Homo-oligomer: A and B are copies of this chain.
Amino acid sequence: MTDPVRVRIAVDAMGAEAAPRVEVEGALAALSSPEIDVVLVGDHERVRRVLDELGSGVPAERMQVRHAAEVVGMDEAPTSAFRQKKASSMRVCFELAQRGEVDAVVSAGNSGAMMAGALLVLGRIAGVERPAIVTTFPTQTGQCALLDMGANVDVRPTVLAQFSVLGAGYARLLHRKARPRVGLLSNGAEEHKGTALTREAHQLLTRAGTSGRPAGFAYLGYVEGRDIFRGQVDVVVTDGFTGNVVLKSCEGLVEWLSHAIREEVEQGSVLEKLGALLMRPALRRFRRRSDHAETGGAPLVGVDGVVLICHGSSDARAIKNGVLAAGELVRAQLRQETARAVAEHAYLWREDAPADGAGGAA
């Protein structure tokens, strides 16, 4: 284990589309946080070249480079690529974490391979069937954590119950919500809505906090797509198929909106064009609020370690924010807090816990 007041983070230098430049630049920028040290993992020569160009004067103990001869490609089949490429930058990162030489792993590489690697090398927290990827959405009053964003496509009801605990833990530590409000994503708020999967998960989750048992979150029941943005719920739980489709639909909509507004302004009057020009600073501030580079990637929760997955198209700012977010999760003890929360809430999905609390502790 590293020095308890310092945090050391392995950054996969070969993950992003613009690797290794954005990783080196982002990692250097993250060193502005005085408690963070970085280990850059990747092709030694290519990383060194960028580092020599950008990083003169960085003390060696704060920024190491570890060679890795292979790279897991974006289009490779995740599990087999991770297994076969023993010398991949991604795998070396996880092995550093597994040996306790770093406290967290950050990569903008193949997210399926990240999931596979975390499972194979770090393993799951006891009691967790499947880890999940969390994404943060902006809301009218702050932030909402949505999980799973694509790691698990076909899940069981017990997995959704576990996601509630994982998501609530994350919102508590990173979004500073003392008792997060958790909702289950559905096609309507009424109990008869949803799929067979969500109805069973709902049954499990309604047991949260009953019979005096601990619940680190408030379960709201079903929520709808629009509730993600309204600020009335802190954590929205769904399977990885639905979560991924929601995330990408929202990205597509934002893309279309900017396109359509630009088109209207271009076809508009001189005054409209002037108006657009004057409004630019407001639009820039707005974009910053909704930009995912600002939030610094998506954590993988439920694995026995701190793992952050950045977007393949990350720039240096996104990598920097990813490293800083990973540092925050290490300091907040995400791993230990998650293990504690999962153990405490096991009554939600364990067969041997009484369904109605009749035999409970109360």
Contacts and interface: CB of A to CB of B under 8 A. Distances in A.
Interface of A: 75, 77, 138-140, 150, 153-154, 185-188, 190, 192-196, 198, 224-230, 238, 240-242, 244-257, 259-261, 264-265, 268-269, 271-272, 274-283, 285-286, 289-290
Most chain B Cβ neighbours within 10 Å, of A195, A242, A252: A252
Contact of A225 (B153, B190, B245, B283): B245
A155 to B, nearest CB: 10
Contacts of A75: 190
Given A77-B192, A245-B242, A256 B229 contact: yes
Contacts of A198: 241
Contacts of A286: 260-261, 264
A289 B275 contact: no
12 contacts: A153-B195, A185-B245, A188-B244, A225-B252, A226-B252, A238-B245, A246-B249, A260-B286, A269-B281, A275-B278, A275-B279, A275-B280
Given A138-B256, A289-B260, A246 B225 contact: yes
Nearest to A153: B195
Given A75-B190, A228-B252, A274-B275, 14 more contacts: A187-B240, A224-B252, A225-B245, A226-B248, A242-B245, A245-B245, A250-B250, A250-B253, A260-B289, A260-B290, A261-B286, A264-B283, A264-B285, A275-B280
Contacts of A290: 257, 260
Contacts of A194: 153, 241
Most chain B Cβ neighbours within 10 Å, of A185, A256, A289: A256
B268 A282 contact: yes
Given A228-B252, A241-B187, A241-B194, A272 B265 contact: no
A175 to B, nearest CB: 17
A157 to B, nearest CB: 14
A171 to B, nearest CB: 18
Contacts of A188: 150, 244
Most chain B Cβ neighbours within 10 Å, of A226, A228, A271: A226
Nearest to A187: B244
B253 A254 contact: yes
Nearest to A278: B275
Contacts of A268: 281-282
Most chain B Cβ neighbours within 10 Å, of A185, A198, A245, A285: A245
B278 A274 contact: yes
A274 B281 CA distance: 13
Most chain B Cβ neighbours within 10 Å, of A254, A259, A269, A272: A272
A168 to B, nearest CB: 21
A229 B246 contact: no
Given A279-B279, A281-B272, A282-B268, A246 B244 contact: no
A243 B153 CA distance: 16
A227 to B, nearest CB: 7
A281 to B, nearest CB: 6
Nearest to A257: B257
